[in-house]
């Protein structure tokens, strides 16, 4: 299926892997790219030294285009982006920050940049800064998304920008892809759907949650990691959404993340202090600590699981290739059927 998204990024199908922390790892990234989509690695939990090896690993697993996601509010984001640029990764995706400097540097070696946005204002700004495409994240999405739903946000932004749009939030199959194209997007990003694949690194007990949860089993809160986001409604998420993070809990989690990222303790918190309060940054540290448990949870009530509302529509664990090929085939059938329906 050809769209502006496939043409800009040199891929076969207009489907992107969402850059999910601790989930979008090399094997999953390569599987999506090898199947004709756009694999996207999330660099939030890595050091610059680790990024060099990770990029080499992905390149050893696929010769197709893939991207690196950097969350600009986090420590090491600039350094990780610089490593990706040194390695001439063909696509970079930035979120939660101003990426004009990154766009300029990537364009210098012929790469492309996707800006993740959740508002009309940020979409217009990213286009002015030179972004090649937008990942527009709406209310239904796992983790951080805008307040409007995809049905409202995608056409709003499509009417205001000229660059390709990748719709995120509520997409898991061909029906969603066809709907996104009708709304003005040029492709879709899927997170929860790809988390529930055979190549996904999350533990089987976590996949079972995704298969059995309904749309009503997710919740949104701005207190779980300090930013408004959607998560699986379990004991830990509810407790975090209702209370303050204790100093002891914040320092303990922050110290473990400091070691993971190999950064000075002050840098862990100073990176976002200009825009976020100490309590929000403490929540961020605690939530990342919980996210690490997705690979081998001792108790599923002790994890934080970003989970989209679309989880209620997913009931199988396929390979990435099966997911992508089925999604595209369904979308093409639906588009054809709609043409016949309107013609009649």
The predicted pLDDT at position 199 comes to 98
Query: Has residue 7 got a pLDDT over 70?
Result: yes
**Rounded-to-integer distance, Cα 66 and Cα 336, Å:** 30
Q: Are residues 95 and 193 in the same domain?
A: yes
Summarize pLDDT for 215-248 with one digit per residue, the tens: 999 999 988 777 788 999 999 899 888 876 555 5
Q: Given pLDDT bands bounded at 50, 70 and 90, which one contains residue 252?
A: low
CB-neighbour burial class of residue 291 (10 A; exposed 0-12, middle 13-18, buried 19+): buried
Q: What residues form DSSP beta bridges with 93?
A: 69, 114
Q: Are residues 301 and 250 in the same domain?
A: yes
Domain harbouring 56, CATH code:
3.20.20.70
Query: Has residue 55 got a pLDDT over 90?
Result: yes
Residue 298 has a CB neighbour count (10 Å cut-off) of 8
* Long-range CB pairs of 223-228, under 8 A, 24+ apart, other chains included: 223/283, 224/283, 224/287, 224/304, 225/283, 225/284, 225/286, 225/287, 225/288, 225/304, 226/276, 226/279, 226/280, 226/281, 226/282, 226/283, 226/284, 226/287, 227/96, 227/144, 227/280, 227/284, 228/144, 228/147
CB 286 within 8 A of CB 245: yes
Q: What residues form DSSP beta bridges with 188?
A: 15, 167
Of residues 273 and 258, more confidently modeled: 258
Q: Given pLDDT bands bounded at 50, 70 and 90, which one contains residue 209?
A: very high
Give me the number of domains the chain comprises: 2
Q: Are residues 88 and 75 in the same domain?
A: yes
Q: Are residues 139 and 261 in the same domain?
A: no
Summarize pLDDT for 286-343 with one digit per residue, the tens: 566 566 677 887 788 888 899 999 999 999 999 999 999 999 999 999 999 988 888 6
Q: Are residues 100 and 215 in the same domain?
A: no
Could you give the maximum distance between any two Cα atoms of the chain, in Å? Answer: 66
Q: Are residues 257 and 279 in the same domain?
A: yes
The overall pTM is greater than 0.75: yes
Q: Kindly state the tokens that stand for 328.
A: 């595209």
Q: Are residues 290 and 325 in the same domain?
A: no
Summarize pLDDT for 269-292 with one digit per residue, the tens: 555 444 444 445 555 655 665 666
Q: Kindly state the tokens that stand for 267.
A: 């840098």
Q: Are residues 158 and 249 in the same domain?
A: no
Q: What residues form DSSP beta bridges with 5?
A: none
Half-sphere exposure of 84 (CA within 13 A, CB side): 32
The predicted pLDDT at position 276 comes to 46
Residue 218 CB contacts under 8 Å (≥ 6 apart), including other chains: 142, 230, 231, 232, 233, 307, 308, 309, 311
Q: In which residue are the tokens 């697993």 written? A: 61
Q: Are residues 21 and 105 in the same domain?
A: yes
Q: Are residues 185 and 323 in the same domain?
A: yes
CB 234 within 8 A of CB 208: no
63-67, 77-81, 168-172, 270-274: which range is least confident on average?
Answer: 270-274
Q: Is 337 helix (H, G, I), strand (E, B) or coil?
A: helix
User: What's the N-to-C CA distance of the chain in angstroms?
Assistant: 25
> SS3 letters for 243-279?
CCCCHHHHHHHHHHHHHHHCCCHHHHHHCCCCCCCHH
Residue 66 CB contacts under 8 Å (≥ 6 apart), including other chains: 29, 30, 33, 38, 39, 40, 41, 58, 89, 90, 91
| CA of residue 322 relative to chain centroid, distance | 20
Q: Are residues 221 and 265 in the same domain?
A: yes
Q: Are residues 173 and 43 in the same domain?
A: yes
The predicted pLDDT at position 275 comes to 46
In which domain, by residue range, is 234 found? 204-309
Residue 142 CB contacts under 8 Å (≥ 6 apart), including other chains: 18, 20, 191, 192, 218, 229, 230, 231, 306, 307, 308
């Amino acid at each position: 299926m050809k769209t502006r998204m496939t043409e800009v990024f040199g891929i076969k199908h207009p489907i992107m892997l969402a850059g999910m922390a601790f989930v979008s790892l090399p094997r999953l990234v390569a599987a999506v790219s090898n199947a004709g989509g756009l694999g996207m690695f999330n660099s939030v939990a890595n050091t610059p030294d680790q990024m060099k090896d990770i990029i080499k690993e992905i390149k050893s697993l696929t010769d197709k285009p893939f991207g690196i996601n950097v969350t600009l509010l986090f420590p090491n984001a600039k350094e990780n982006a610089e490593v990706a640029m040194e390695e001439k990764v063909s696509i970079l995706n930035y979120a939660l920050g101003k990426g004009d400097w990154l766009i300029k540097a990537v364009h210098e070696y012929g790469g492309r940049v996707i800006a993740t946005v959740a508002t009309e204002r940020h979409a217009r700004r990213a286009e002015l800064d030179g972004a090649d495409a937008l990942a527009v994240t709406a209310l239904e999405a796992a983790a951080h998304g805008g307040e409007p739903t995809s049905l409202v946000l995608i056409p709003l932004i499509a009417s205001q920008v000229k660059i390709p749009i990748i719709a995120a939030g509520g997409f898991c199959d061909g029906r969603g892809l066809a709907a996104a194209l009708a709304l003005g997007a040029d492709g879709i990003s899927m997170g929860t759907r790809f988390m529930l694949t055979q190549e996904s690194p999350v533990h089987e007990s976590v996949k079972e949650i995704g298969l059995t949860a309904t749309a009503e089993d997710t919740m949104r809160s701005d207190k779980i990691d300090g930013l408004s986001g959607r998560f699986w409604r379990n004991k830990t998420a509810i407790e975090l959404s209702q209370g303050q993070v204790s100093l002891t809990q914040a320092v303990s989690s922050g110290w473990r993340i400091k070691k993971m990222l190999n950064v000075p303790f002050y840098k862990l918190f100073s990176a976002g202090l200009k825009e976020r309060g100490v309590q929000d940054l403490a929540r961020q540290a605690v939530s990342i600590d919980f996210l690490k448990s997705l690979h081998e949870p001792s108790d599923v009530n002790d994890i934080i699981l970003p989970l989209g509302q679309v989880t209620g529509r997913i009931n199988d664990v396929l390979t990435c290739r099966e997911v992508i090929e089925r999604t595209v085939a369904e979308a093409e059938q639906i588009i054809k059927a709609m043409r016949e329906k309107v013609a009649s």
